[in-house]
Structure 1
Amino acid sequence: MNILGALKITVKKGIDLKVCDAFSSDPYVVITSGSQKLKTRVIKNNCNPEWNDVLTLSVTDPDMPITLNVFDKDRFSRPDKMGDANVDIKSYIECMQMGIKDLPIGTAVKKIQPDESNCLDDESKVVWIGKGKMVQEMTLKLQNVEKGKIQIKIEWLDLPGCKGLPKLNS
């Protein structure tokens, strides 16, 4: 298994998450890709939690789905599922592959619109942050639940000894 690099995912916050307990929820986020599973901390009694947790996922295949699941932690029973979303990194990787060397910091390299193929709640931009790096912030609309959104930010990390940015299969 060849690691191409890593994806730094900052799970920023939840917005208007489902109430699972009497008046609130104790939400946390689980991000999975292949056999990898990463988890944020639990925020107690909050349907608008702010995690700002940074999770790092090894990338071996840019086409492998990245799934975000939100759960309500329960003390004496299994966690309640509060929705899920797929994180689409293809547009981000395409921008990184452009080989751009220098742009004014804050330049939007690409704008991605919400559609039926992604879980975006509104327009998402891939933004140049300097020194060969770009970030993409996105608000994901949770699926399989009546309401709730999660804000995340992604950034590619080149790792020493790794192949570097992958070529996408279109």
Structure 2
Amino acid sequence: MVNISNAMGALRIRIKRGIDLAIRDATSSDPYVIVLLDQQKLKTRTIKKSLNPVWDEDLTLCVTNPNEPLKLFVYDYDIFSPDDRMGEAEIDLRPFLEVVKWNLKGVSNGTIVTQVKPNRHNCIAEDSPIVFSDGKVTQNIFLRLRNVESGEIELQLNWIDLPTSRVA
């Protein structure tokens, strides 16, 4: 169980959509996403018969350890057998959390504060801007799934300050 009093804040993850996901049933899949952070685990709803599902679903987790990566696992739902793996991805939250600590007073609305570049060590598929907009820090990300023949997940990170936040 996560102790909220130790939380730096909350991370709202909008799981937007899947792109060109792998086929795990005869001609399609029934995908859902599991998100893990520290000991917290949340799940999206299952989208039936789609390789390009649109979830547009918000999942919120407390951040207590800035060095802990955010992990995503995509599965195909099956009724009579164990669910099939459809890939996984991991996000290093440190670049995002660094920006959250900055004093952004006076920064213009919609400013790209920094970008996270794809590299061999992350799952990011293309440049990922961290933006200051409407007084909030957000990051749009396309993640290339690992350990699978195809698939990406589009998501957005949003930071939520908690009354007890202690941004380190």
The two structures share one fold, judged by TM-score above 0.5: yes
Number of the residue aligned with 1:156 = 159
Q: Which runs of 5+ in 2 are unaligned?
A: none
1:126 to 125, 130, 146: 130
TM norm structure 1: 0.93
Paired residue type of 2:134 = G
| Residue 162 of structure 1, CA deviation | 2.8
Q: Is the 8 A contact 1:26 1:72 kept in 2?
A: yes
1:21 to 17, 25, 36: 25
CA contact (8 A) 1:11 1:51 kept: yes
**Quick check: 1:137–1:152 contact (8 Å CA) kept in 2?**
yes
> 5+ unaligned residues in a row in structure 1: which ranges?
none
TM-score (norm 2): 0.94
Give 3-state SS (helix, strand or coil) of 1:126's partner. strand
- What is the CA–CA distance in structure 2 between the aligned matches of 1:96 and 1:58, rounded to whole Å? 14
Amino acid at match of 1:142: L
| 1:85-141 superposed Cα distances (whole Å, 9 cap, x missing partner) | 00221111111222111322211100111001211000000011132x110000000
- Give 1:24-63 correspondences, 5 Å limit: 24-63=28-67
AA of the residue aligned to 1:85: A
Please say if residues 103 and 130 of structure 1, whose CA atoms lie closer than 8 Å, have aligned partners that are also in contact. no
Q: Retained in 1: the 8 A contact 2:67–2:92?
A: no
Displacement of 1:161 in angstroms is: 2.2
Cα RMSD after superposing both structures: 1.0
Match of 2:118 among 114, 121, 125: 114
Shift, 1:33, TM fit: 1.4
- Secondary structure (helix, strand or coil) at the match of 1:81 reads strand
Number of residue pairs matched by the alignment: 164
Among all aligned residue pairs of Structure 1 and Structure 2, give the percentage whose two residues are the same amino acid: 43
Q: C-alpha separation between the residues in 1 aligned to 2:101 and 2:27?
A: 46
